[in-house]
Amino acid sequence: MSTAEETHQCEVELQLSKYDFYEDLSEIKQKLHETRSRLSPMRVIKEKSLMISALGLLVGFVVGNRDRVQR
């Protein structure tokens, strides 16, 4: 194989590697976006609003009863 052919082969491989890199980068960006939206505080609050309310009620009940018991 001549030097020109080797050079051309290396350039082709480089272009294919670049394409693969940008494809992988695009997938990573998409997964990052999905993960951020899944873990956003507003989404967690919306999905767990009943549990958060129940926990708040329980904490209020415990604190209220603790004051009553100490008197």
pLDDT digits over 6-59, tens only? 999 999 999 999 999 999 999 999 999 999 988 888 887 888 888 889 999 999
Q: Are 21 and 28 in contact (CB under 8 A)?
A: no
pLDDT of 14 reads 96
Identify the residue with better confidence: 71 or 22.
Answer: 22
Q: Which residues contact 45 (CB under 8 A, 6 or more apart)?
A: 52
Q: Confidence class of residue 65 from pLDDT cuts 50, 70 and 90?
A: confident
pLDDT of 12 reads 95
